[in-house]
């Protein structure tokens, strides 16, 4: 703080006798002489170190700017510790902090040091702290003066007040020195050993009022905090009750769901076992069907060979006997097949009822079990590829009739899933192109057409063998069963490739009289086209 500002603050807050306290507590006699000498006050420096010399320094401090600047520098240097302490105290607590430390200041002889630290503090609250501190010190001096006045025998002081008599003698001697000084030239409060505890003067009305307002504010804040805590406690209690009720409800639902889950798991296990049994029976039925078809095929082969043999010499009676034996086996297998089909229908009805019971459950069954059931009862995808030219002329040459493509589609599909049905048509005069193609599309076929080509020698050629082979190979992975409607021997290698590389089931429909024998032998199932497939 600038020394000019310090002087203005001293003039506002500190009288001359109080400024003497600052010099007396800040400078010991030797330092006071050195300061006076450096400030050019040679008369004061040579005049000893009494109180009168400090009074002279105060006078020079007020009227001599140069001396004031130097003295302020030395006061700041000697009171560094007190200045740092005052800076750390909050401005709102500055006055109370000085008042609470007053007794220690008395004991340490630092009243003047802390007064200078407050002078150097730039905050406005420091002026009020200076006034309060000097006022409290003057009141204490007056109390001690009244306390010792009229007490001839200081030994009675200890009985009356509890103050040590030896300490009181020294204190009284110093008070007498203060009384002998001229008016306005009181020396600072003497440096005694730590004073005894004496009753403190009652605080001022303003101070009590401030304390009262502060306590009221704290009480109001405490009440508001209590109300908030009480309200929050009630809210938390309500939430706790709600959470407890919700927890009970959830536990009840969990028990119900657990019970339903156990029931569902038992029923699912039963359905899995039942589905496995149905699958085995279905495999048996399919095996019987394959055997029946195999026997029928063998029978047709024998008939076809007999018809070709004509007049060649052979044992007809043995052939007839073998044929009758085979026909008997076929009839027996057909009966077994019908019986198995009836049993399968009944089991499917029972399985349907089981599915209906399962759907009534709230939750879905175990995904793994359901997956097993779904996969095992999945219908195979069937692709049907019809060589129209082959079967058209096959029906015309032997029967002089036309093939019923709707019956062919139904028989080839047999309750399975249709993936694709394609008819490959070579346009010719014998086939009424537009009406025939429109009819095939209406009943569910996809139609691919190709024009009949004429060679240089006048002969004509047209077939779809390569196109059919390409379509089957390109789409084999997407199908489970491949149905070829043709007896052309050019497809033998194609069918063998589909079976070996793609592991697909191959079925063949054709007229026996224009079918290559090897096609019948390599097919997983061969179905001859007869009068049942012709249009009326």
Helix (H) / strand (E) element for 140: namely: helix 125-148
Alpha-carbon span 528 to 296, nearest angstrom? 9
Q: What are 416's two structure tokens?
A: 């399975």
Spacing of C-alpha 473 from chain mean position: 49
* Short-list 463, 430, 467, 429, CA closest to 446: 467
Phi-psi region of 184 (alpha: psi -120 to 50; beta: other; left: phi over 0): left
- Only one residue has tokens 């504010």, namely 217
| 315 SS3 class | coil
502-509 long-range contacts, CB within 8 A, separation 24+: 502/476, 502/477, 504/476, 504/479, 504/480, 505/380, 505/480, 505/481, 506/481, 506/482, 507/412, 507/481, 507/482, 507/483, 508/483, 508/484, 509/408, 509/411, 509/412, 509/483, 509/484, 509/485
- pLDDT at residue 492, as a whole number: 94
Alpha-carbon span 119 to 83, nearest angstrom? 9
The sign one gets for the Cα dihedral 63, 64, 67, 69 is: positive
Q: Which one-letter DSSP state was computed for residue 41? A: -
Helix (H) / strand (E) element for 505: namely: strand 505-510
How many CB atoms neighbour CB 510 within 10 A? 25
Question: How do the pLDDT tens digits run along the chain, 536 residues long?
Answer: 665 677 677 777 777 777 777 877 888 777 777 777 777 666 555 555 455 567 777 777 777 777 778 888 888 888 888 888 888 888 788 888 888 877 777 667 788 888 888 888 888 888 888 888 888 777 777 766 665 555 544 555 555 555 555 656 665 665 555 444 444 444 444 444 444 444 455 667 787 888 888 888 989 999 999 999 999 999 999 999 999 999 999 999 999 998 888 898 888 888 888 888 888 877 777 777 667 767 777 777 777 666 666 544 445 566 667 667 767 766 666 666 666 666 667 666 677 766 666 666 645 545 444 444 444 457 899 999 999 999 998 998 888 899 999 999 999 998 899 999 999 999 877 766 678 889 999 999 999 998 887 766 666 667 899 999 999 999 999 999 999 999 999 999 999 999 999 999 999 999 999 999 999 999 999 999 999 999 86
| 322 SS3 class | helix
CA angle, residues 173, 175, 176, in degrees to nearest 5: 65
How many CB atoms neighbour CB 155 within 10 A? 9
Helix (H) / strand (E) element for 510: namely: strand 505-510
Alpha-carbon span 193 to 104, nearest angstrom? 10
Q: In terms of DSSP bridges, do strands 481-485 and 505-510 run parallel, antiparallel, or are they unpaired?
A: parallel
Calculate the dihedral angle through the C-alpha atoms of 2, 6, 12, 18, rounding to the nearest 10 degrees. Answer: 180
CB under 8 Å to 424, separation ≥6 — which residues? 385, 386, 387, 388, 389, 448, 450, 464, 467, 468
- Only one residue has tokens 């793609």, namely 502
Q: Measured between alpha carbons, how far apart are the two ends of the chain, in Å?
A: 128
- Only one residue has tokens 């694709």, namely 420
How many CB atoms neighbour CB 189 within 10 A? 21
Q: What are 299's two structure tokens?
A: 């029978």
Give the CA radius of gyration of the chain: 63
Alpha-carbon span 226 to 216, nearest angstrom? 15
Alpha-carbon span 445 to 422, nearest angstrom? 5
| 3-state helix/strand/coil string of 387-448 | EHHHHHHHHHHHHCCCECHHHHHHHHHCCCEEEEEEEEEEECCCCCHHHHHHHHHHCCCEEE
Q: Which one-letter DSSP state was computed for residue 534? A: B
Q: In terms of DSSP bridges, do strands 381-387 and 481-485 run parallel, antiparallel, or are they unpaired?
A: parallel
Alpha-carbon span 251 to 253, nearest angstrom? 5
Q: What are 52's two structure tokens?
A: 């009168």
Angle of helix 80-88 relative to helix 111-120, nearest 10 degrees, comes to 60
| 144 SS3 class | helix
Alpha-carbon span 256 to 193, nearest angstrom? 87
Is 43:60 a contact under the CB 8 Å cutoff?
no
CA distances from 517 to 302, 303, 386, 521, 522 (A): 12, 13, 19, 6, 9
Q: What are 493's two structure tokens?
A: 């290698």
Q: Which one-letter DSSP state was computed for residue 452? A: P
The sign one gets for the Cα dihedral 487, 489, 490, 492 is: positive
């Amino acid at each position: 703080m600038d020394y000019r500002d310090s002087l203005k603050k001293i003039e506002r807050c500190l009288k001359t006798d109080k400024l003497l306290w600052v010099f007396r507590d800040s400078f010991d006699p030797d330092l006071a002489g050195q300061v006076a000498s450096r400030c050019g006050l040679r008369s004061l420096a040579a005049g000893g170190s009494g109180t009168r010399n400090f009074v002279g320094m105060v006078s020079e401090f007020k009227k001599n700017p140069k001396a004031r600047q130097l003295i302020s520098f030395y006061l700041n240097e000697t009171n560094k510790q007190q200045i740092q302490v005052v800076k750390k105290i909050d401005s709102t607590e500055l006055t109370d902090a000085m008042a609470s430390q007053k007794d220690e200041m008395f004991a340490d002889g630092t009243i003047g040091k802390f007064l200078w630290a407050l002078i150097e503090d730039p905050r406005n609250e420091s002026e009020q702290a200076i006034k309060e501190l000097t006022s409290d010190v003057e009141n204490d001096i007056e109390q001690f003066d009244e306390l010792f006045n009229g007490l001839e025998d200081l030994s009675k002081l200890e009985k009356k007040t509890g103050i040590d008599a030896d300490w009181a003698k020294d204190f009284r001697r110093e008070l007498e020195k203060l009384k002998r000084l001229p008016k306005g030239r009181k020396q600072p409060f003497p440096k005694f050993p730590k004073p005894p505890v004496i009753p403190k003067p009652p605080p001022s009305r303003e101070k009590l009022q401030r304390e009262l307002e502060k306590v009221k504010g704290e009480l109001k804040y405490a009440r508001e905090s209590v109300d908030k805590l009480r309200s929050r406690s009630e809210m938390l209690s309500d939430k706790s009750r709600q959470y407890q009720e919700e927890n009970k409800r959830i536990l009840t639902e969990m028990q119900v769901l657990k019970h339903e889950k156990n029931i569902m798991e038992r029923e699912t296990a039963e359905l899995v076992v039942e589905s496995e049994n149905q699958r085995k029976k279905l495999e048996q039925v399919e095996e019987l069907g394959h055997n029946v078809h195999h026997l029928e095929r063998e029978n047709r082969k024998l008939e076809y060979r007999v018809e070709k043999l004509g007049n060649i010499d052979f044992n007809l009676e043995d052939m007839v006997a073998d044929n009758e034996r085979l026909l008997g086996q076929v009839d027996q297998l057909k009966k077994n097949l019908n019986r198995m089909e009836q049993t399968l229908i009944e089991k499917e009805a029972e399985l349907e009822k089981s599915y209906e019971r399962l759907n009534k459950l709230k939750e879905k069954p175990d995904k793994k079990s359901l997956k097993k059931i779904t996969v095992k009862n999945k219908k195979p995808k069937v692709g049907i590829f019809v060589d129209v030219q082959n079967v058209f002329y096959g029906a015309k040459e032997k029967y002089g009739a036309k093939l019923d493509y709707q019956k062919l589609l139904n028989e080839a599909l047999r309750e399975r899933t249709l993936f694709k049905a394609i008819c490959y048509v070579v346009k010719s005069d014998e086939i009424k192109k537009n009406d025939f193609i429109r009819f095939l599309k209406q009943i569910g076929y996809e139609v691919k057409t190709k024009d009949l080509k004429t060679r240089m020698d006048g002969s004509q050629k047209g077939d779809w063998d390569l196109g059919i082979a390409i379509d089957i190979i390109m789409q084999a992975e997407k199908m489970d069963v491949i149905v070829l409607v043709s007896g052309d021997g050019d497809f033998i290698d194609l069918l063998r490739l589909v079976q070996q590389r793609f592991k697909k089931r191959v079925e063949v429909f054709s007229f026996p009289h224009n079918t290559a024998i090897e096609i019948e032998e390599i097919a997983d199932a061969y179905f001859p086209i007869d009068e049942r497939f012709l249009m009326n």
